[in-house]
Structure 1
Amino acid sequence: MSADVATPSMPQTPQHTPDPSPERPRVGLFLIPTHRRRVPLVDADAWHGLDPHRLAWLIRHYTRPGDVVLDLDMHPTVARATCYLHRYPAILVPDGDATRVRLTGVRARPERIRRLTDRGVSLLLAGLPRPGGDRLGLRALTDAMDQWRRLLRPDGFLLTRLPAQSPQPGQVSARSLVITAARAAGLRYHQHLPVLLVPLPETEPRTDPATAAGTRPALLDGRHIPVHLDLLAFGSTTTDQEAANA
């Protein structure tokens, strides 16, 4: 998958569903669009730090026109990008002891809406950890992933935004934990998407043996300055070959 989304406007052309072949590369670096280099990428319209332009690119890449896009965080930018791309935005609402998918801002006959929701969600977006939780627990996360998987179409995708903090010494990384939980819930690990927040430097002194030792790290309050965020994509189906290799 192409990692550079430097296009002049939000794309609207149809996009194929990503190839679920296990031979696909697991990492796709998301570069900063060239026309956005002078504009701050993190703003009030960002979804968990992901700017609206690249968010729209992801929605277009993982869905087709007429698909349902479910955002667990009910972020207005997701709804606007989804409508712009001629998809149907949806949220999860309580329904007695369970929950159900409800389309938002859609004018259609009840039977049309029922058909759209009954066939399942094509793309589900979720920031981690979920509101109300201060950490990622494997059991709770697996249970949540299992519930989300049941909402997806057979060819649907789950897109998660990982927490920004780094793991403490001796702890399992959030990425490994989320991948483990997703696989235990029956989801297929599709791709890791590091998304750059700042332009890459022309030169990096820390990679040069002659200057690495004398180059001080860039720190903010004693921590490395964040230069990227991590997204993980999972598919709702697993191929026979992937199941055999799991």
Structure 2
Amino acid sequence: EMQKAILKPNIVKSDGVEFRTSYRPVPGLYCGGDYYDVIFLGADRYLLLIGDVAGHGVKAAFITGILKAIIYPEYVRGTMGKIFSPGAFLSWLNDRMNFEFRSTSSMLITFFAGVLDLKNLTLQYANAGHDHPYVIRGGVPSELLVSGTGLGFVQSVVYPEQTVRLHAGDVLLLYTDGLVELNCHEGKDLVKMMPLLKKVAPGDDYHRRLLSAALADAGAAEFSDDVTLLTAKLE
């Protein structure tokens, strides 16, 4: 509950978008390594963030706490009202994590950053090794394929950016890999995202239905990793 309270975004509401988040730590551990946030940048723009620290439990939760403590005060606050580059942000965060954990060789973080512009209906984004998000339009999912090196491997990484044009009614889905990687009675199964998203259309109770369908596809009773969902429905 403490970690949920710390990570829960303080979302500035807008008539143009509806945000929803769901977070489930590994059963029995009650804390984990998933990070997510929605930050209002001003001028009808929102910064969407999602990340996954390798591992489970207290160590991973500690690193997510560090991320929460540094991202806004050290970087985002200084960009308010200015142009925000997701790629430049990930480059800064990668260098910051390399410095913070310079004496540790086992730290790995995947991370996605996107700027949702409601005025121009665009998403400008960059990706540091994280599972690709999706745009769902009229029930048809499209994968946002750009990617880059995960945080914490090497210094001075340049992260490419892409921009996708959006439409009213589109749903953006960001998630962590706990949704698709499940330890089942036959070993580790990988839920296929595209068939899953075609099967479960956005609508009422979307997060619960998506989580239930993923478990059913894998034949699993519960998730074996932290699971986070973040959706943005354009209105």
Q: TM-score, normalised by structure 1?
A: 0.27
Q: TM-score, normalised by structure 2?
A: 0.28
Q: Which has the higher contact order (CA 8 A, sep 6+)?
A: 2
